[in-house]
């Protein structure tokens, strides 16, 4: 399968993906190899089940949310991140896969950054909490994600306290929810570029 799959990624595809995402050709080829190893149906797309076969995602408490982000980002018409629509049967193709991963590419000052810019990284993180995709994080959503992250290690009272304090500090317009703008303000002093970066192999 490796040889057949590597032939499917043409030089022009690599150049186009490099232009879109900033990944080096060697990184794109490695990501393609990983993508094809996950593509059990050998049809050039990944299903949610394919993603959940990744051991790191299977054990991650936010694994479902991370997988959801691949599909949500692929559906969105977000002006900063236009993506092709996924197919009817809810699959992600290689280009969509790489574009989502590009959010985690470290920022280099010498490059023109789009998908891995601070605002895009923040938008991706915001979507982890926005469970109903209404562009607002409610107290209930915040509680649900906190519960996913800590499980039974913290009492409900402590989780409620954390959620209430977070809403109180972040909510500037008093609607008891956190908008994307408020989310960005709350993380203004956080080094998002560093925290949301993965060093991809060269």
b/e string for 118-128 if b means 16 or more Cβ within 10 A?
Answer: eebbbbbbbbb
Specify whether 50 is located in the same domain as 97: yes
Place of tokens 């059990």: 40
Neighbours of 74 (CB within 10 A): 21
Q: What is the mean pLDDT of each run of 10 residues along the chain (202 residues)?
A: 54 91 91 91 87 83 84 53 46 89 75 73 90 94 91 88 94 96 93 74 48
Residue 166 structural domain = 118-186
Contacts of 199 (CB under 8 A, 6+ apart): 106
Identify the pLDDT of residue 179: 97
Identify the pLDDT of residue 69: 79
Identify the pLDDT of residue 73: 58
Residue 198 covered by a domain: no
Number of domains in the chain: 2
Residue 112 covered by a domain: no
Q: What are phi and psi of 153, to 5 degrees?
A: -75, -20
Q: What is the CATH number of the domain that holds 156?
A: 1.10.238.10
Using DSSP, state whether 92 is helix, strand or coil: strand
Specify whether 99 is located in the same domain as 134: no
Identify the pLDDT of residue 74: 54
Identify the pLDDT of residue 199: 64
Residue 52 covered by a domain: yes
| 95: nearest Cα among 40, 151, 153, 20 | 20
């Amino acid at each position: 399968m490796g040889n057949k799959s590597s032939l499917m990624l043409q030089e022009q595809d690599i150049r186009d993906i490099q232009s879109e995402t900033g990944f080096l050709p060697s990184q794109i080829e490695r990501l393609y190899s990983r993508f094809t190893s996950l593509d059990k149906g050998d049809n050039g797309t990944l299903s949610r089940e394919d993603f959940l076969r990744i051991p790191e995602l299977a054990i991650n408490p936010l694994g479902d949310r991370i997988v959801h982000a691949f599909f949500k980002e692929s559906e969105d018409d977000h002006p900063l991140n236009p993506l092709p629509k996924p197919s009817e049967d809810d699959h992600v193709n290689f280009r969509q896969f790489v574009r989502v991963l590009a959010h985690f590419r470290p920022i280099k000052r010498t490059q023109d950054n789009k998908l891995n810019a601070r605002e895009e990284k923040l938008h991706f993180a915001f979507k982890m909490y926005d469970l109903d995709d209404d562009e607002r994080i409610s107290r209930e959503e915040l509680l649900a994600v906190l519960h996913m992250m800590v499980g039974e290690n913290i009492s409900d009272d402590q989780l409620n306290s954390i959620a209430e304090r977070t809403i109180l500090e972040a909510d500037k317009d008093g609607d008891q929810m956190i908008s994307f703008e408020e989310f960005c303000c709350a993380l203004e002093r956080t080094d998002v570029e560093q925290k949301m970066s993965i060093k991809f192999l060269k």
